[in-house]
């Protein structure tokens, strides 16, 4: 199977203290030599306590922030050092969904405005009708009727807003979705619906997912592989069932012991 993504020895340090001459004296090693690969159509789970570097890793992979060293190879192409102009064509192939659908949707725009934004940025040549069709289809894909296109974000529940965020990503026909705690802010009853939607979309569109979560029950349910992160490093990785059944690293055992069982 094709490796859609390969990350090699990726590092991102944040300066924390300024020493003399304004130079950084100390660093937070948010991502500290991370390597893994993801096969097309599969889901890789990223777990670890708050502050271990999961979101920084995600943003670095998407080139939303620049890495200090290491390599990001996406569809066989080294994208680590591409300029922001060069990365533009790759950018639509990798999309991110954030945890909080309340802050990630611009309240001034209608659903149509939000979902069509990427299309307008990436494909200026498309006619209005084409854009409308694509947006309506993306909305349908996430289980929302097109009649809602003229509504505003505040008119929706958390689960519906997260569906709109997913539609906004899908409209660009991405191949890799990074899901940064996509259901953590939702009611438990809604979480399962959104997770099931993501699983269905993956099957239908052969999407590859990086799935960041605190909830190990969900990770076990949907991830093919899992990476356990601690202090910017991956301390354990492998097939999900293997890691869950016989964790090799003491930190993984601690995480598993402290996880509540999840009814899914």
Ligand X SMILES: Nc1ncnc2c1ncn2[C@@H]1O[C@H](COP(=O)(O)OP(=O)(O)OP(=O)(O)O)[C@@H](O)[C@H]1O
55 binds Mg ion (CB under 5 A): yes
Smallest gap from residue 68 Cβ to ligand X (A): 13
131 binds, among ligand X, Mg ion, none (CB under 5 to 8 A by kind): none
Question: Which C-beta is closer to ligand X: that of 115 or that of 226?
Answer: 226
What is the 8-class DSSP label of residue 146? G
Which residues form the interface with ligand X (CB under 6 A)? 14, 28, 30, 50-56
Q: Residue 54 CB, nearest distance to ligand X (Å)?
A: 4
- Are 60 and 92 in contact by the 8 Å Cβ rule? The answer is no
As measured in angstroms, the least distance from the Cβ of 31 to Mg ion is: 12
CA–CA separation, 140 and 181 (whole Å)? 23
CA distance 81 to 104: 27
Report, in Å, the least distance between residue 55 CB and Mg ion. Answer: 3
Residue 10: strand pairing partners: 34
Determine the interface stretch with Mg ion among 35-43, 51-59, 78-86, 218-226 (rule: CB under 5 A): 51-59
14 binds, among Mg ion, ligand X, none (CB under 5 to 8 A by kind): ligand X
Residue 259 corresponds to which tokens in the numbers above? 């996880």
CA 112 to chain centre: 22
The token pair at 72 is 């990001």
Structural contact between residues 196 and 189, judged by C-beta atoms closer than 8 angstroms: no
Residue closer to ligand X, measured from CB, 12 or 91: 12
Residues in the interface with Mg ion (CB under 5 A) total 1
Contacts of 157 (CB under 8 A, 6+ apart): 190
124 contact, one of Mg ion, ligand X, none, CB 5-8 Å limit per kind: none
Q: Which is nearer to ligand X, 54 or 220 (CB)?
A: 54
Nearer to ligand X, 39 or 64 (CB): 64
Task: Report the partner that residue 56 touches, choosing among Mg ion, ligand X, none (CB closer than 5 to 8 A by kind).
Answer: ligand X
Q: Which of the listed partners (ligand X, Mg ion, none) does 226 bind, with a CB threshold of 5 to 8 Å by partner kind?
A: none
> By CB under 5 A, what part of segment 5-34 binds Mg ion?
none
CA-to-CA separations, 2 to 64, 139, 178, in angstroms, rounded = 24, 29, 18
Q: Give, as one character, the DSSP assignment of residue 29.
A: E
Strands 176-180 and 3-18: unpaired
Q: Which residues contact Mg ion (rule: CB under 5 A)?
A: 55
């Amino acid at each position: 199977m094709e490796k859609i993504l390969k990350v090699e020895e990726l590092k991102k340090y944040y300066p924390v203290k300024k020493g003399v001459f304004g130079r950084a004296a100390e660093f937070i090693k948010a991502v500290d030599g991370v390597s893994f690969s993801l096969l097309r159509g599969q889901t890789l789970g990223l777990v670890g306590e708050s502050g271990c570097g999961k979101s920084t890793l995600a943003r670095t992979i998407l080139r939303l922030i620049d890495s200090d060293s290491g390599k990001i190879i996406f569809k066989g192409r080294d994208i680590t050092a591409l300029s922001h102009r060069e990365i533009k064509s790759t950018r639509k192939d990798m999309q991110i969904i954030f945890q909080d659908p309340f802050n990630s949707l611009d309240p001034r725009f209608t659903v149509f405005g939000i979902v069509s934004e990427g299309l307008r940025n990436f494909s200026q040549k498309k006619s209005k009708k084409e854009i409308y069709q694509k947006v309506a289809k993306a909305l349908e894909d996430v289980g929302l009727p097109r009649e809602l296109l003229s509504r505003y974000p505040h008119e929706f529940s958390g689960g519906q807003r997260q569906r709109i965020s997913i539609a906004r990503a899908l409209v660009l026909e991405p191949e890799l979705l990074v899901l940064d705690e996509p259901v953590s802010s939702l009611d438990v009853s809604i979480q399962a619906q959104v997770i099931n939607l993501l699983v269905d979309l993956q099957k239908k569109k052969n999407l590859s997912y990086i799935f960041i979560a605190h909830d190990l029950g969900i990770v076990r349910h949907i991830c093919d592989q899992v990476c356990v992160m601690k202090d910017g490093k991956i301390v354990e990785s492998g097939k999900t069932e293997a890691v869950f059944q016989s964790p090799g690293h003491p930190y993984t055992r601690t995480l598993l012991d402290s996880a509540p069982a999840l009814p899914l």
